[in-house]
Structure 1
Amino acid sequence: MNAALFKVIASQVAVHTTMAGVRLAAPLLALKQGYSAPAVGVLLALFALTQVFLALPAGRYADRHGFRKPFFGGMLLASIGCAAAMFFPTFAVLCFTALCTGGAAGIVVIAVQRHVGRVAHEPAQLKKVFSWLAIGPAIANFIGPFATGLLIDHATFGGSDTSGYRVAFGLLALSPICAWLWVRNTPETPLAPRPAGTGTQRAWDLLNDPAFRMVLIVNWLQSASWDVHTFVLPLLGHERGMSASVIGTLLGLFAIAAAAIRLLMPLVADRLREGAVIACAMAVTACIFIVYPFTNSVLTMGLCSVLLGFSLGSVQPMVMSMLHQITPQHRQGEALGLRLMAINASSVVMPMLFGAAGGVIGISALFWTVGVGVSAGVRAAWRLGQAGDKAQAAQLPP
């Protein structure tokens, strides 16, 4: 990974760190001010809600203008949101900050994903760069909450209850600005010309491509599996009398395994076939979800969490590599926006659906239902790999 690409990926980590920090600070401040748990739930939903509406416009804008302009817009949006919370730490402003930082993270990730996908020219390079890029959110999700928590507890002054929060929001506002300083001189990749005679195209036209539909289905199954594990594992652990620290450790093992597999994948990217990796990961995920309810000890549940982290963590780099191979170059930003919109819409809706379904059919049955659903996607993942092989063959010189 060269220095320019490292700066681009690090800049995305910086902006995501801001969102992750705000996602910790805003709910804590709202609870401190006496707001109810449902109000905090609405506040948390706003982080994903903005991306549902901004993802497609951001993708189209990146297709037209490249990397730097959308990144600057995302940086500015995140900094404005944090600055507003620093000066006016009220619940209404915290909601505004959640909308700004969530939307900014979506805009930046689309710009970065499109840029690194166009810098890489071969399938092996795509797998490597997207494996490195997928590590970024894991790093940001650690740095953001950890640093924000320390600032809230220790950066207090003047006897004010909100002084630590103000300092945290102020420093979080600086992180995107630093990111922009790193990448403001990044060379743009050539904009792909729109083929003659294509006319007006809508984002939904991309769904007419069977390969693109399969990418979205596989990615949605992976995202839903991640969400259901994060949401249901605490319920399953509580049902079995486990302490909060044990449940947190199990979730931590899952996150570490997901990050570890993404660290290893660039080293063996030349030997990996996207379709085979995705199909194998989906099959392993389905088996783990079916077995999970039968595990009763912390050791066996921890083993399942680690294996699930390995399988789900390996999917996103492969999906992103496939998406860039099967999507027309002049619409890659639009395709990334459509993907992000679908995932965030799912993240808003699925936890509520999981909660309702778990209350009706039980936690164990919910695991089994998701496992069966994921197993049905194995064939789609294999067919996706065949489509990717055809796309690679079409790009080879005669």
Structure 2
Amino acid sequence: MDLALFKKGNFVIKIKNKQIYLVVLLALLFQTAYQGNIVLTTLYAVHLHAHSAFLGVIVALSAVFPMLLAIYSGKFTDRIGFKLPLVLGMIGCGSALLLPFIVHNQLWILLVSQSLFGLFQIFTIVTIQNLVGALSNSKNYSKNYAILSQGTSIGELLGNVMTGFAIDHIGYSFTYVFLASLAIISGLVFLFNLVTVPKYEKKTQVQSEKFIDLLASRNLRKTFITSGIILTGVFLFSFYFPVYGRSIHLSTSLIGLILGANTAAYFIIRLVMPRLSAKLSEMHLLGICLLMSSIGFALIPLVKNFYILAGLSFVMGLGLGCCQPLSMSMAYHFSPKNRTGEVLGLRLAVNKFAQVAVPIISGPLGGTLGTLPVFWTNAALFIYGGLSMFTPETPDKIKSEISEKTP
């Protein structure tokens, strides 16, 4: 049926079953602000002569609140629906980005800004993922999550490119205003009901509110562990490959091209994911992608040739680019009814823990033993995660039927 997506006075635009694309577009705008904030804040801190330790504190602060509060933000979504968390998260993030514009040339304001940005962005991330699941049915879960991942990938690219140009042409302070406007505009769309979202339905039965109960589900445990492994791989590659590249005397330009091959693979694999998902189960496809990524981690520290490294980076990107939306889809798939937001929040908490812990743990390890043990340890984790995906699914009591969650 036709669904009204925009409504202002007597002006209504109707698009047939396309609200998922508008939601992804708004997620893309927010992701552009999110990724641009990372680039802008790093460059602005360097411009203000910040010590490298200070940059580490900024990174930690931006991830600590999401790690600690992601589960509660998911519960918040489950209890009150989608609109308020999205409005709060997007406008809150935009407001946090305005602080460096208001307080010029002060490093301490970056600590405040990034802490608040991390606090508010958890509502947006979890709620968008939950909303996409609510707008899906048993036949298009994987497709819609692939569309969301593709949109956020485009947002990451735009955030990097547009922020660089904006700094050169309008300066650091006004670039913060530009990025803040993207986040705030997205929030205003939801605030003024310019996009329709499923109405919140109250729980029909009393359910346990302890998140530890979710871990009783073998399939959910497997999803959480796998999600942590995936993000660990993403961060280790971003963190350690430049170190390895410099150790074999590659120029920064060549290192950038190899990393670019990885990003390009993300776009390509997510374009064909719906077809792959139609032929293979989510678990089996995820297992194949994890094993594919393990090849890159195992072979990269043994190779010094630029072209072979670029090829391995591309292969790894095909696997990682497929893994992330699949783990998101599986988290929603195996979650109990009315606790989908909590499950996605727990998944995000695991991911953010990896974001905080991995560089701290792997840094001393790499400094002592070199990069080879780091890459091979991660290859072993990916092999373990990949093989675990080929074990039979279990009919957990906690799992809800997909048809019950279909709007």
Same-fold call, TM cutoff 0.5: yes
Q: Is the 8 A contact 1:286 1:370 kept in 2?
A: yes
Q: 1:53-80 deviations in whole A, cap 9, x for unaligned?
A: 2312211111011111100001221121
Q: Is the 8 A contact 2:335 2:400 kept in 1?
A: no
**Structure 2 partner of 1:41:** 56
Letter in 1 for 2:135: V
Residues 1:262 and 2:267 aligned together: no
Q: How many percent identity over aligned positions?
A: 25
Q: 1:3-45 deviations in whole A, cap 9, x for unaligned?
A: 3211111111212221222212222222222221111121122
**Structure 2 partner of 1:364:** 372
Deviation at 1:320, TM superposition (A): 2.0
Q: 1:97-142 deviations in whole A, cap 9, x for unaligned?
A: 11222333321121111011011111x3000000011123321222
The 1:29/1:396 distance shift into structure 2, 3 A limit, reads closer
**Structure 1 partner of 2:67:** 52
Letter in 2 for 1:382: F
Match of 1:68 among 55, 58, 83: 83
Deviation at 1:270, TM superposition (A): 2.0
Q: Distance in 1 between matches of 2:359 and 2:251?
A: 22
| Aligned partner of residue 314 in structure 1, secondary structure | helix
Letter in 1 for 2:123: I
Q: Is the 8 A contact 1:8 1:183 kept in 2?
A: no
**Structure 2 partner of 1:165:** 172
**Structure 1 partner of 2:196:** 187
Deviation at 1:389, TM superposition (A): 12
Identify the structure with the greater helix proportion.
1
Letter in 2 for 1:104: F
**Structure 2 partner of 1:152:** 167
Deviation at 1:241, TM superposition (A): 0.3
The 1:392/1:88 distance shift into structure 2, 3 A limit, reads closer
Q: Distance in 2 between matches of 1:238 and 1:395?
A: 49
Q: Distance in 2 between matches of 1:2 and 1:254?
A: 33
Map residues 121-270 of structure 1 onto 2, 5 A cutoff.
121-122=137-138, 124-155=139-170, 164-184=171-191, 185=193, 186-194=195-203, 196-198=205-207, 200-270=208-278
Q: Which moved more, 1:10-19 or 1:304-313?
A: 10-19
Deviation at 1:244, TM superposition (A): 0.3
The 1:39/1:395 distance shift into structure 2, 3 A limit, reads closer
| Aligned partner of residue 318 in structure 1, secondary structure | helix
Q: Distance in 2 between matches of 1:33 and 1:54?
A: 31
**Structure 2 partner of 1:108:** 124
| TM-score after normalising by structure 1 | 0.91
Q: Is the 8 A contact 1:274 1:322 kept in 2?
A: yes
**Structure 2 partner of 1:345:** 353
Q: Distance in 2 between matches of 1:389 and 1:321?
A: 17
Q: Distance in 2 between matches of 1:334 and 1:391?
A: 13
Deviation at 1:260, TM superposition (A): 1.4
The 1:221/1:32 distance shift into structure 2, 3 A limit, reads same
Q: Distance in 2 between matches of 1:307 and 1:113?
A: 26
| TM-score after normalising by structure 2 | 0.89
Q: Distance in 2 between matches of 1:342 and 1:222?
A: 11
Q: 1:152-189 deviations in whole A, cap 9, x for unaligned?
A: 2111xxxxxxxx11111111111112212434423332
Deviation at 1:256, TM superposition (A): 1.0
Match of 1:298 among 306, 309, 315: 306
The 1:203/1:154 distance shift into structure 2, 3 A limit, reads same
Letter in 1 for 2:196: P
Q: Distance in 1 between matches of 2:294 and 2:243?
A: 20
Letter in 1 for 2:200: L
Q: Is the 8 A contact 2:293 2:320 kept in 1?
A: yes
Q: Distance in 2 between matches of 1:329 and 1:393?
A: 6
Aligned-residue RMSD, C-alpha: 2.3
Letter in 1 for 2:81: G
| Aligned partner of residue 376 in structure 1, secondary structure | helix
Map residues 75-114 of structure 1 onto 2, 5 A cutoff.
75-89=90-104, 90-114=106-130
**Structure 1 partner of 2:47:** 32
Letter in 2 for 1:121: N
Residues 1:374 and 2:379 aligned together: no
Q: Distance in 2 between matches of 1:208 and 1:269?
A: 27
Letter in 2 for 1:168: T
